[in-house]
Amino acid sequence: MKGIILAGGTGTRLYPLTKVTNKHLLPVYNKPMIYYPLQQLINAKITNVMIVSGKEHVGQFIELLGSGKEFNISLTYKVQEDAGGIAEALGLCEDWCCKDDVVAILGDNISDWDVSDSVGMFDGGAHLFIKEVEHPERFGVVRFENNEIVEIVEKPISPPSNYIVTGIYIYDHKVFEYIKNLKPSNRGELEITDVNNWYLNNGELSYSVIEGFWSDAGTIESLYAAGQIIRMNELNCCKECPL
């Protein structure tokens, strides 16, 4: 199993914080944002990780994280020339992944959820991590029938549920073949929701519900809220520690 952190995009919702830097390098409480998805992969014992970012910022990631030696992992970097969508960024990793399964995480996902069990039990297809939220219309939203996912709708005006697909995914190597045949959406991007619906329609999609904390940190409000929750969690942890 290999890990991929998708850290591209223009960060327009966080402007002017992102005027001179990538949003995934912004602080969330006391760490750069990208440290949180990186730690999730490390906790799942994934030691080969690729970071995908735009050409204007990839050097900053290298300066911050280096080879990965500090974290006892191996880090590789890939440049996404244009902002062509999450699925396009994932597709750039095909040669590096070879035939391995992958855990892909969006770089602005902040969560205390441990994906280790799902990684260990993964046996092909795709596995998503979903979460109930108050404002699902910003995300890919799950539609259920008889407690089964029957459709994932991208940013719907009228969400069919409050459960959204978080930016944490596990895929087998077939994902790259599908991405090659994917058509751009009306936004001109290759959508990860189309990838997930493809697995769903082929009967190869499973999911877990995140019970713990999760936030996307992609807006000013969610960035601030994520930092506050991380701060409270760390302060509570320190109070419980006998040392």
Q: Where along the chain do its domains lie? A: 2-124+167-240
pTM of the predicted model as reported, rounded to 2 decimal places: 0.93
Q: Provide the pLDDT for residue 147.
A: 86
Q: Provide the pLDDT for residue 82.
A: 82
Name the CATH superfamily, with its identifier, for domain 2-124+167-240. Answer: Spore Coat Polysaccharide Biosynthesis Protein SpsA; Chain A (3.90.550.10)
Q: Which residues, given as ranges, of the chain have pLDDT below 50?
A: 240-243
The single residue listed with the structure tokens 């960024």 is: 89
**Tally of helices (H runs) and strands (E runs) in the chain:** 8, 13
How many other C-beta atoms are found inside a 10 Å radius of the C-beta of residue 147?
Answer: 5
Report CA-CA distances (Å) from 182 to 6, 87, 91, 176, 177.
18, 9, 10, 10, 9
The single residue listed with the structure tokens 């440049």 is: 79
How many other C-beta atoms are found inside a 10 Å radius of the C-beta of residue 47?
Answer: 16
Q: Provide the pLDDT for residue 45.
A: 96
Q: Provide the pLDDT for residue 243.
A: 35
Report CA-CA distances (Å) from 52 to 86, 111, 124, 187, 235.
10, 20, 23, 20, 32
Q: Provide the pLDDT for residue 84.
A: 82
Report CA-CA distances (Å) from 177 to 181, 205, 233.
7, 16, 41
Burial of 39 from C-beta contacts in 10 A (0-12 / 13-18 / 19+): middle
Burial of 218 from C-beta contacts in 10 A (0-12 / 13-18 / 19+): buried
Answer for the pair 84, 185: CB distance below 8 angstroms, yes or no.
Answer: no
